[in-house]
Structure 1
Amino acid sequence: MPRWLPRALVLALALYACFQIGSWAFHQLFGLLVNILLAFFLALAIEPAVGRMAARGMRRGLATFLVFFGALLAGAGFVAMLGSMLAGQIVDMVENFPQYLDSLINWTNQHFHTDLSRLEVQDSLLRSDWLQKYVQNSASGVLDVSTTLLGGLFKLLTIFLFAFYFAADGPRLRRGVCSVLPPARQKEVLRAWEIAVDKTGGYLYSRGLMALVSGAAHFVLFEILGVPYAPALGIWVGLVSQFIPTIGTYLAGALPMLIAFTVDPWYALWVLVFVVVYQQIENYVLQPKLTSKTVDIHPAVAFGSVIAGTALLGAVGALIAIPAVATLQAFLGAYVKRYDVTEDPRVHGHRGYGVAVLARVQKALHVKKDAAAREGGNQE
């Protein structure tokens, strides 16, 4: 047996063991790594505000705390306002439920020639098996819901804590990264960091602008229909539809539909139609233009990056996909050599095949005419 074979086997087994341990550790820490990635992009988003406050003489830690405190205060106030509004609307719906049920029963009796009464319907609902099973499942699922909420709060706290450290100790973090790199690489890292800050800020700016447009459009609709709490509902639709990926649109439209239903059931249908139509306009008209201008990437690339981010990391990937791709594109653009484009009509989409075919036909006609002329001369 060769002398190197036992050593090669031991090395192969050691590498395989390291790979298995690394794979196990990666799967165990995947959630934490995703939270750290999201916290890093959140820190990049607030970096311009923290940098301006630090440039005026304020400590970065205090500036970061003030930015986070302002954002949390605004979010808490908005959630409290919506919570009180939603609670009031639920109380109104419960109080008016008998009237809704009577109107539904009367409509059913008139159109389907039935003889239903509210007491019979209520008794059948209360004694139904599916309602009892639903209550039992809901009672057993309270613990699961509580655990999910506590887990979500812990993840949110983890994200904010890491984002605070990334933003407050940004210069120290950049200095630590650059200290292990040669000077040429240090410039590239700092340039990439600056591009990431600009692109993330541009992405949030475009999202905020779309939230403003969406909130204003829905506010006008709610005012026309006479839906209560129209300003708060407009803000709700704008923020939730833009800053909660994938399911944000459905969450944003559910609350206005519920409140519009308390005014008139037909108003809920109008709200649903408007939300669907506006969403199509936003997806195919507003969002590609605003994203391409603020983040400077092609609309198709933005759309594809969101799909790829969702497939890789779910909602978090959809949220950070566009600024990540914009940062990568801007960073790699400096290293891609570009050339002057030749002046060819096909570059502008003008195909020259028709001209070439016409020239060939004309040439063939001339050849045929010359052959006929020579044949006529030979006959003479």
Structure 2
Amino acid sequence: MSASEPARPGPATPALDPEGSTAVPEHRHPPGGGVARLAQWSWQVVGIALAAVVLVVVADAARPVLVPVLVGLLLTALLSPVAALLRRAMPAYAASALTMLAFLALVVGASWASGAQLGDGVRRLVASLPDILGEVQTRVDDGVLGVTGDQVDQAVEQLQQWLTGNGGQVADQVLSLGTSAASLLTAMLLALVTTFFFLADGGRIWRWTAGLLPRDQRERTDRAAAQAWTALQAYIRTQAVVAAVDAIGIGVGAWLLGLPYVEAIVLIVFLTAFVPIVGAVFSGGLAVLIALGSQGVTEALIMLAVVLVVQQVESHVLQPVLMGKAVNLHPWAVIVGVALGSFLLGITGAVLAVPAMAIVNTVARSWRTPLPSEAEPHREASGDGTDVDPGSGPDDDDRTGAGTGVGGPAAAGEVRREPPGRDER
């Protein structure tokens, strides 16, 4: 090397610890590098897949008990505001009992007032569907719709076969909870009893459940459960309002057009609205089909416009305003979830798929967010660089002593709210 050339830096000398040994740089990866990390990730994926399979098998085996409990959870989310309002004037169990009595009176009264008419309308609609389809095919053959009958013959035949072969599908899915009327009654009673106790004593039930977890996981689990409960409440209330608005809007349009079976259309629209996206397409298409078969092309186009307007109001006004960001699911994920739930559990799975996905999504996002007790030491480091003890904080009873319904306390960083059914003693 000549004197004019600058000296090139040599390799860095490893740092020595007080004992004189060479310290391993912190950024150095373990032996194996990327291969080891890939193998570890692969085993994690396999473990998650196996856990999911076991969960599905257990859920299917426990369906006669699990489904009524989940229905009770949904009813609790729907009725908890009423119970919370009544608890201001009476004990929790009395408020829960009065809420349940009012709910049952509403259901029984509505069924008694309109059950016969709705049942007759549904029966007449099902019986007349072949005639309606025949009238639609006749209009197609006449060239009114601009297509030939050969183009839709196969579709009409398949639809008629589906109607013939699946006429009792709803009843079969309802009776899937058991093989007799006694098992169905047992499932209904279990759902109502679950709702009653969740409304009356949901906070204590949750505290007992959270107490089974390791102490260092309770605060994070408590927060995740609270946010999941908030998302579930937002979902079930929004779906109830959306179902009512859809049924009223489409029902009024059908009534103004003079369509038959208006009561049956309203009932079908309301019930299918609890199956997101798929239910709206099915019920709206059925209303348009009835208009086409009974009135004509003009009325069918008007009915289609009514359905589209109602669904646009639902998608762009009701859903964002009522639900907000509490349930943040992409439409593609909703479609896949509903299809998967329907494949695994039939109609029950289609109804429960979206709330289950909303809960999983909320819990996952909450679990990734650091707790205030984990972030505080980094902000309150002492002058000599010693962090505050991250393990310090409220004791075990304080961390699990308040719950929000069956979902735990309010989200971290917010004031804890009085839970539905919390023991006030």
How would you bin the TM-score normalised by the shorter chain?
A: 0.5 to 0.7
Provide the residue aligned with 2:191 in structure 1.
159
**Residues in 2 aligned to 1:276 and 1:152: alpha-carbon distance in whole angstroms:** 35
Q: Deviations over 1:124-182 (max 9, x none)?
A: xxxxxxxxxx99x99xx9x9799668365544433333233333221331232244456
Give the conservation status (yes or no) of the 8 Å contact 1:206–1:290: no
What secondary structure sits across from 2:91 in the alignment?
coil
Counting only pairs closer than 5 Å after superposition, residues 88-107 of structure 1 correspond to structure 2 as: none
Cα deviation per residue 1:87-113 (whole Å; 9 max; x = unaligned)? 26867999x99xx89x97xx89xx7xx
1:315 is aligned, of 328, 341, 350, to 350
Aligned mate of 2:333, from 282, 295, 304: 304
Counterpart residue type for residue 318 of structure 1: A
Alignment match of 1:64 (pick from 61, 84, 96): 96
Is structure 2 residue 236 aligned with structure 1 residue 201? Answer: no
| Partner-residue secondary structure (3-state), 2:324 | helix
2:362 is the alignment partner of 1:327: yes
* Cα displacement (A) at 1:187: 3.8
Separation of aligned partners in 1, 2:174 and 2:266: 28
- In 2, distance between residues paired with 1:211 and 1:27? 28
Gaps of 5+ in 2: 1-50, 143-162, 376-425
Aligned counterparts of 2:236 and 2:57: Cα–Cα separation in 1: 35
Contact persistence 2:250–2:307 (CA under 8 A): no
1:273 corresponds in structure 2 to 304
Q: Within 5 Å, which residues of 2 pair with 1:290-301?
A: 290=321, 293=324, 295=326, 297=328, 299-300=329-330
Decide which of 202, 206, 215 is 1:170's aligned counterpart. Answer: 202
RCO (CA 8 Å, sep 6+): is it higher in 1 or 2? Answer: 2
Give the alignment partner of residue 243 of structure 1, picking from 265, 274, 277. 274
Q: Is the 8 A contact 1:199 1:326 kept in 2?
A: no
> TM-score w.r.t. structure 2 length?
0.49
- Tell me if the contact between 2:235 and 2:355 (Cα under 8 Å) persists in the aligned partners: no
Report the CA distance between 1:324 and its aligned residue: 0.8
User: How many angstroms does 1:213 deviate by?
Assistant: 3.7
Residue 46 (structure 1) aligns with: 79
Local SS of the residue matching 1:169? helix
Query: What TM-score does the superposition give when structure 1 sets the normalisation length?
Result: 0.54
Q: CA deviation at 1:37?
A: 3.5
The secondary structure found in structure 1 opposite 2:90 is: coil
Aligned identity (percent) is 19
Aligned to 2:253: 221
SS in 1 for 2:87: helix
Aligned partners of 1:219 and 1:233 also within 8 Å: no
Q: Distance in 2 between matches of 1:268 and 1:154?
A: 46
8 Å Cα contact 1:47/1:197 also seen in 2:
no
1:264 to 284, 292, 295: 295
Cα distance in 2 for partners of 1:295, 1:22 equals 26
Query: Structure 2 CA distance, aligned partners of 1:256 and 1:82?
Result: 20
Report deviation, 1:335.
1.9
SS in 2 for 1:243: coil
Specify the code of the residue in structure 2 equivalent to 1:32: V
CA distance in 2, matches of 1:237, 1:189: 39
Of residues 242-251 and 47-56 in structure 1, the stretch that sits farther from structure 2 once superposed is: 242-251
Larger Rg belongs to: 1
Deviates more, 1:215-224 or 1:282-291: 282-291
1:29 aligns with 2:50: no
Given that 2:243 and 2:270 are in contact with CA atoms closer than 8 Å, whether structure 1 keeps it comes out as yes
- Name structure 1 gaps, 5 residues minimum: 1-18, 112-133, 339-380
CA change 1:57–1:89 in 2 (3 A) is closer
Which residue identity does 2:107 align to in structure 1? G
Q: Distance in 2 between matches of 1:317 and 1:35?
A: 11
Using a 3 Å threshold, how does the CA distance of structure 1 residues 221 and 25 change in structure 2: closer, same or farther? Answer: closer
Number of aligned residues? 286
The alignment yields a C-alpha RMSD, in angstroms, of 5.2
Distance 1:327 1:56, change over 3 A: farther
Question: Residue 350 of structure 1 aligns with which residue?
Answer: none
